[in-house]
């Protein structure tokens, strides 16, 4: 879920990957996210991708470290030798750093993708 990156954060996580069938992979992750330094910013973004935009933003932490708890699940199904279906859903339970900026600290994100390989 793209609301944090690897700058000024600590990510303690657990992951479970299951293969109930040779064509199916299930994955669930739990992330306990916090800032490394409460006096720094909460950074997000994907990096420089345009000549006029840096690609990162920094949000004040309000002197807090607790960022969020993130739970996500995904499933990947091999439909054909060359076709894969992927489904993802994640929910972030925002903590004090997120509450410092947003009235509703929680967020949902999901997508479905169909991949063709040749």
Q: How many Cα atoms are found within 13 Å in the side-chain-facing hemisphere of 8?
A: 21
DSSP per residue, 34-93 = EES-TTSEEEEE----BTTB--EEEEE-TT--EEEEEEEEEEEEEEETTEEEEEEEEEEE
Closest C-alpha to 67, from 1, 7, 10, 2: 10
Per-residue exposure over 81-116, b if at least 16 CB sit within 10 Å of its own CB, e if not: eeebeeebebbbebbbbbebeeeebebeeeeeeeee
Position 2 scores a pLDDT of 78
Segment 10-62, tens digit of pLDDT: 999 999 999 999 999 999 999 999 999 999 999 887 666 667 767 778 889 99
CB 106 within 8 A of CB 99: no
Position 5 scores a pLDDT of 81
Q: How many Cα atoms are found within 13 Å in the side-chain-facing hemisphere of 29?
A: 17
- pTM across the whole model: 0.85
How far from each other are the two terminal CA atoms of the chain, in whole angstroms? Answer: 28
Local confidence band at 7 (pLDDT 50, 70, 90 cut-offs): confident
């Amino acid at each position: 879920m793209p609301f944090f990156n690897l700058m000024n954060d600590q990510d303690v996580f657990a992951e479970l990957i299951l293969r109930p069938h040779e064509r199916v992979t299930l994955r669930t992750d739990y992330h306990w996210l916090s800032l490394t330094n409460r006096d720094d910013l909460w950074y997000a973004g994907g990096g420089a991708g345009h000549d006029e935009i840096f690609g990162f933003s920094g949000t004040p932490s309000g002197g807090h470290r607790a960022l969020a708890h993130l739970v996500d699940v995904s499933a990947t199904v091999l439909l054909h030798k060359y076709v894969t279906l992927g489904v993802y859903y994640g929910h972030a339970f925002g903590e004090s750093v997120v509450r410092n900026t947003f009235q509703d600290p929680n967020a949902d994100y999901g997508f479905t993708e169909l991949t063709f390989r040749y």
